[in-house]
Amino acid sequence: MSLKLWSDNHGIALIMVLWVLAILTVIALSFSFAVRVDTHSTMAFKEEVENKFLAEAGAARGVTEIFYRNANKGQRVILEGMETWRIDGKPYEVRTDAGYFTVSITDEAGKVDINMTPDIILRNLLGNLDLGPEHIDTIADSILDWKDPDELHRLHGAESDYYMSLPNPYGARNAPFETLEELLMVKGITPGILYGSRESRGLIEFITVNSRADRINLNSAPKEVLISVPGITSEIADEIMTLRQDREINYLLEIKGLSEQRYSLIEPYLGTEDSQVFTIVSAGHRNNKKAGYGITETIAVTGENSYDYLYYKKGTSVRQ
pLDDT surpasses 90 at 172: yes
Q: What is the pLDDT of residues 68-90, one digit of tens each?
A: 998 887 665 455 556 788 899 99
- Residue with more model confidence, 288 or 134: 134
Residue 6 — pLDDT band, cuts 50, 70, 90?
A: very low
5 pLDDT higher than 50: no
Q: Does residue 229 contact residue 121 with C-beta atoms inside 8 Å?
A: yes
Per-domain residue ranges of the chain = 51-110+275-319, 115-206
Beta bridge partners of 318: 292
What are the DSSP E strand ranges found in the chain? 88-95, 99-107, 112-113, 207-208, 216-217, 270-271, 277-286, 291-301, 307-319
Distance of CA 12 to the CA centre of its chain: 69
pTM: 0.79
Question: Which CATH homologous superfamily contains domain 115-206?
Answer: EpsJ-like (1.10.40.60)
Convert the pLDDT of each residue in 117-143 to its tens digit: 999 999 999 999 888 888 999 999 999
Give yes or no for residue 318 having a pLDDT over 70: no
Of 101-110, 292-301, 311-320, the least confident: 311-320
Reply yes or no on whether the pLDDT at 106 is more than 90: yes
310 pLDDT exceeds 70? Answer: yes
> How far apart, in Å, do the first and last CA atoms of the chain sit?
79
Q: How far is CA 131 from CA 115, 190, 194, 200, in A?
A: 21, 12, 12, 11
Angle at 36 between CA 33 and CA 41, to 5 degrees: 125
Average pLDDT over every residue of 251-255: 88
DSSP symbols for 32-86: HHHHHHHHHHHHHHHHHHHHHHHHHHHHHHHHHHHHHHHHHTT-S---TT-PPPP
pLDDT the model gives residue 27:
73
Mean pLDDT in residue range 184-209: 92
The pLDDT tens digits for 155-169 are 999 999 999 999 999
pLDDT given for residue 282 in this prediction: 95
Average pLDDT over all residues of the chain: 85
Q: What integer pLDDT is reported at residue 84 of this predicted model? A: 85
Q: Look at residues 286, 211, 216 and name the one whose alpha carbon lies nearest to residue 249.
A: 216
CATH number, span 51-110+275-319: 3.30.1300.30
Looking at residue 29, its pLDDT comes to 67
Q: What's the DSSP call for residue 154?
A: -
In terms of DSSP bridges, do strands 207-208 and 112-113 run parallel, antiparallel, or are they unpaired?
parallel
For the cut 70, the answer to whether the pLDDT of residue 42 exceeds it is no
